[in-house]
Structure 1
């Protein structure tokens, strides 16, 4: 498995978290179906960590994956 990186996405509304997590799942599933990820990578990268930042009053959603995978996801979500 390639080394994993993490991106953090700040979220103010719970509904946004649901959308990003659904998009992340769909993105990983498509990558797995296209044989870009192994089964082990798919299950490892599917785990998302969530923490609450008191200073910013927002949720921090942390997604892990390889650097190219995360870059591709960010482009697909944020343009």
Structure 2
């Protein structure tokens, strides 16, 4: 199990990014959450097996059709046993 915290920059609010993120995470079996931040970015925490988390991170770099991701910051964290995927 691995856990990653990402900050996604670009046009990522108001384009269905968090909802699409949740659907993709559930499809891949990745747990965690996604939340809009006041600075216009989206913060995402991912937890799961390395393969699905890596695939999810690649998706976050593209996002849904109307998003325009310009940069993604990635940090490593200790897994906490997250269950499900939420949006805030």
TM-score normalised over the length of structure 1: 0.51
RMSD: 2.8
1:14 is displaced (CA, Å) by: 4.3
Give 1 or 2 for the bigger CA radius of gyration. Answer: 1
* Alignment pair present for 1:65 and 2:46: yes
Higher helix share: 1
Higher strand share: 2
Encode CA deviations 1:11-32: one digit per residue, 9 max, x unaligned.
557422xx11111111012112
> How many residues matched?
59
SS at structure 1 position matched to 2:38: strand
Q: Distance in 2 between matches of 1:13 and 1:28?
A: 17
TM-score normalised over the length of structure 2: 0.48
Gaps of 5+ in 2: 48-52, 64-68, 70-88
Structure 1 residue ranges, 4+ long, deviating more than 3 angstroms after superposition: 11-14
SS at structure 2 position matched to 1:24: helix
Q: Distance in 2 between matches of 1:25 and 1:14?
A: 14
1:31-50 equivalence runs, <5 A: 31-32=28-29, 37=30, 42=31, 45=32, 47-50=33-36
Encode CA deviations 1:47-78: one digit per residue, 9 max, x unaligned.
2233212xxxxx12101115514433235536
Gaps of 5+ in 1: 54-58
